[in-house]
Amino acid sequence: MSLKVVKFGGTSLADAEHFKQVASIIKADPSRRYVVASAPGKRISNDEKVTDMLYNCYNMIRRHEDITDYYKKIVDRYTSIIAGLGINFDITGELEYIKNAMMARSGRDFAASRGEYLNSLILAKYLGFDFIDAENVIFFKENSTFDEERTNLAMKEELAKHERAVIPGFYGSMPNGTIKTFSRGGSDVTGSIVARACCADLYENWTDVSGFMMADPRIIKNPLPISMITYKELRELSYNGATVLHEDSIFPVQKEGIAINIRNTNHPEDAGTMIVPFAQDYNSEHVITGIAGKKGFSVINIEKNHMGAEFGFAMRVFKCLDQYEIHTEHLASGIDLMSHIVPEAELNSKLDEFIPELHRVTDADNISVDTGLALVAVVGRGMKETKGTAARIFTAISNANVNVRMIDQGASELNIVIAVYESDYEKTIEAIYNEFVK
Ligand code: ASP
């Protein structure tokens, strides 16, 4: 029998009605044996996510404020789920314990993690599945980075003992036993870790959208969905992909070549997006798979005659960027010019110190900074095989009267990244989408 790991996000587990829908999805396919659960998300747009409420409690305690009334709202969220499901399950002891532990300063990550912990206890009870506490199977190292190999061994061993189980997402434990969480949205990562450990045939990630769209729906009205995308393409699209799936979720499943299927809990009939290791077998319908982008970049232009002949020049530039904690998002070069595209937010506050220091270490002839840029990434495995793609992209952009500031084509020919002024950002995406999709 095939084996699937299923992860349900916060909106999929926001209230009792959603719990029932989740249970019917799980029960519809007996191969859905391991379930990873998020904390209850928003029920309506102006609702509070339980994780946010737990962070708020933590902050209130630090400010010596009384959390009694606020904590009661969290208690109500869980008790109304239990009541709505009609199960006989008393978690008042757990809720009391958590409140006391938070007041005894058990840490920010402990507080945040309890949303997933409680939701998973309830879901396990409702489904009649075992409960595996993530703190015993997901480990972080002393330096707070994720300990993949230790986790994989422990998770494998534990899963083998359970035919069916629910595992809370988002957290694990530090070597000293304290709770540590992944970054926000990290239950996706937990799902991927579980899928890797049991060598699942598929990792289904159930959320509130039917997969990835070819472009941002705030810019393109009703963009087409992406039915199939490779891991690598998704990485290139991470500028907007991260809102659907946590960026780091690719890495554990990639080790075993397991596909991820993004599905919609509210529309289980939709096939969603398949994220696959390779796509030889899948022909893409369009030359491009998707368009992503982001505003808020600057370009640092460093000019120096014969810089290419100078050993260590690039190293000095990178060292200086490193020292000021500025990331190079993209890099382009000319014979006597090197241009680094960097996030504006990382550069702005350090500009006055950073530029003189860069001058000092490089002895550059000129350094200039151009701000207010946006990056647009056009991604597609089909681009490699198709002649004239770049010509079509740039003709479309130029017809839209957009001035291209910089171009970077990845060596894999999987993507072309174009820097434009922020005011041209939406226009650029529209022009490319209309050229390839409409
Ligand atoms: N509940 C956590 C968050 O809101 C983790 C998750 O949902 O994946 O970020």
Q: What angle do CA 142, 145, 150 make, to 5 degrees?
A: 80
Among the atoms of ligand 1, which is closest to the Cα of residue 246?
8
307 lies in the same domain as 230 = no
Report DSSP state, residue 136: G
339 lies in the same domain as 271 = no
Write down the pLDDT at residue 12. 97
Is the CB of residue 114 below 6 angstroms from any atom belonging to ligand 1? no
The pLDDT profile of the chain, 438 residues, written as one tens digit per residue, is 799 999 999 999 999 999 999 999 999 999 999 999 999 999 999 999 999 999 999 999 999 999 999 999 999 999 999 999 999 999 999 999 999 999 998 899 999 999 999 999 999 999 999 999 999 999 999 999 999 999 999 999 999 999 999 999 999 999 999 999 999 999 999 999 999 999 999 999 999 999 999 999 999 999 999 999 999 898 888 776 557 899 899 999 999 999 999 999 999 999 999 999 987 655 667 889 999 999 999 999 999 999 989 999 999 999 999 999 999 999 988 899 999 999 999 999 999 999 999 999 999 999 999 999 999 999 998 888 788 999 999 999 999 999 999 898 877 778 899 999 999 999 999 999 999 997
Is the CB of residue 38 below 6 angstroms from any atom belonging to ligand 1? yes
Is the CB of residue 51 below 6 angstroms from any atom belonging to ligand 1? yes
- β-strands 179-181, 171-173 pairing: antiparallel
Query: DSSP for 305-357?
Result: TTGGGSTTHHHHHHHHHHHTT---SEEEEETTEEEEEEEHHHHHTTHHHHHHH
Give the domain-ending residue among 276, 310, 342: 276
Q: At what angle are helices 16-27 and 108-127 packed, to 10 degrees?
A: 60
8 lies in the same domain as 123 = yes
Write down the pLDDT at residue 372. 97
C-alpha span between 36 and 203 (Å, rounded): 10
Write down the pLDDT at residue 236. 86
Q: What is the dihedral of CA 404, 406, 407, 410, to 10 degrees?
A: -150
250 lies in the same domain as 303 = no
262 lies in the same domain as 363 = no
How confident is the model over 312-352, as pLDDT tens digits?
A: 999 999 999 999 999 999 998 889 999 999 999 999 999 99
Q: What is the dihedral of CA 102, 104, 107, 111, to 10 degrees?
A: -10
312 lies in the same domain as 374 = yes
248 lies in the same domain as 317 = no
Which residue's CA lies nearest to atom 6 of ligand 1? 185
Which residue's CA lies nearest to atom 2 of ligand 1? 185
C-alpha span between 170 and 112 (Å, rounded): 9
Kindly state whether residue 161 falls inside one of the protein's structural domains.
yes
Ligand 1 pocket check: which of 187, 193, 207, 208 to mutate, most ligand atoms within 8 Å of Cβ? 187
Could you tell me the CATH number of the domain that includes residue 81? 3.40.1160.10
Is the CB of residue 39 below 6 angstroms from any atom belonging to ligand 1? yes
C-alpha span between 218 and 98 (Å, rounded): 40
Kindly state whether residue 285 falls inside one of the protein's structural domains.
no
213 lies in the same domain as 97 = yes
Strand, helix or coil at 37?
strand
Kindly state whether residue 272 falls inside one of the protein's structural domains.
yes
Give the domain-ending residue among 246, 276, 306: 276
Among the atoms of ligand 1, which is closest to the Cα of residue 170?
5
Residue 41 CA to ligand 1 center (angstroms) comes to 8
C-alpha span between 251 and 375 (Å, rounded): 24
Is the CB of residue 49 below 6 angstroms from any atom belonging to ligand 1? yes
303 contacts 367 by C-beta, under 8 angstroms: yes
Strand partners, 44: none
Domains in the chain, number: 2
312 lies in the same domain as 264 = no
Kindly state whether residue 190 falls inside one of the protein's structural domains.
yes
pTM for the predicted model, two decimal places: 0.88
258 lies in the same domain as 296 = no
How confident is the model over 362-396, as pLDDT tens digits?
A: 999 999 999 999 999 999 988 887 889 999 999 99
Residue 179 CA to ligand 1 center (angstroms) comes to 15
Could you tell me the CATH number of the domain that includes residue 295? 3.30.2130.10
Is the CB of residue 40 below 6 angstroms from any atom belonging to ligand 1? no
Is the CB of residue 187 below 6 angstroms from any atom belonging to ligand 1? yes
Query: DSSP for 398-416?
Result: HHTTPPEEEEEE-TTSSEE
Q: Which residue's entry shows tokens 């008042």?
A: 92
Which domain, by its residues, includes 325?
290-436
